[in-house]
Structure 1
């Protein structure tokens, strides 16, 4: 009996190894979205301070087919692109590249913010209701906004701060009139998401605009700065005034 078991066991082991190698090669060729952080101070003088051309040149050195999805100039200098693992490793070795990090998707989370932060009760004055606080602008990166929510009411608010350089980006079910002195700007960024899907968004299910389709972005932004809405409840339960931490922001 053992004479036959050993060859069969070896054959199964070989098949398992071949399958693992095939899966590894498939993983190597699969394109994913990467965030590439570049050190602008290391940009060669030949690019004459045109860092966008530098990014494109660095990308073409590792891939003939990859295009930049977005470029970044504020918090970091760099860009994002769809790359294979091998291309990402090569790009990370290029002069001037700080890091090449795979895009991460996070699950939506929420909590009782004031209590969680420990600024309720006697500490509530951290964000006073003064009209002067209208100069505070809070930015949220999330699933979007539902501009018809009463929490975005702009009554009693001052003018939009002169320092504001954002915009109200139009799209499906969302136009410039959706913004006001409370919701002073809204944008959407779908290229990375669509690249991950491998096809354009299904606009019968999702809005290709700042419009919030699942409510999470509306919840988080109004938790931060929502205008007071009296008589709010969840199907009649927990009735009270819904308001954000910085109501005048």
Structure 2
């Protein structure tokens, strides 16, 4: 997991390749997209426009639920690579264990595209503990990551515990809770005390639980701000105050 940059760029909703290129030029090395975002071509063009060599980037994409039937996995993966303009990705996720997903049939095909070099690593997204147990039964390749919603208002402790038990990465998405964190008085107070932004505090808190987070950032200022959150050290008291926030709000429920 040492090769997984801790703060990546979540690209859902980004439709301008220059924003992707700007993020790379600002220092991002972890880019996260998905076929259902309908912007893999945008991300690929951003990679092409940036000055950073491809081999220095960690690029992840995801297969959507209607591409998880066994006969769809390879053509869907090849189509994603074509849109990205890449020969392979660093990480290919199963986006959700829904739709055409059948572990015993889908996952051997995921193994096959991995074995053939279309992806260097295999991950899952939005998988709960039972889903993860089934995945381990049917995957030959080691699971590299589970990407889950993670922010001060939503923590799947059992899912994170599974990752620690079985030694794979947790990647947190939506660390800003769709913008809800900006109005939180606890986060505002900590940000003021730490001479940081609320976004940085939320991301730093997530990094205490996850190996990486992928906040979306469209402006250059926000991109740089989010990236710098990896260097923010929160105290034990800061973490406890955020942990004590009594609110549950899943932004992307099943």
Interval of TM-score (by shorter of Structure 1 and Structure 2): under 0.3
Q: Could you tell me the TM-score, scaled by structure 2's length?
A: 0.24
Return the structure number with greater helix share.
Answer: 2
Q: Could you tell me the TM-score, scaled by structure 1's length?
A: 0.24
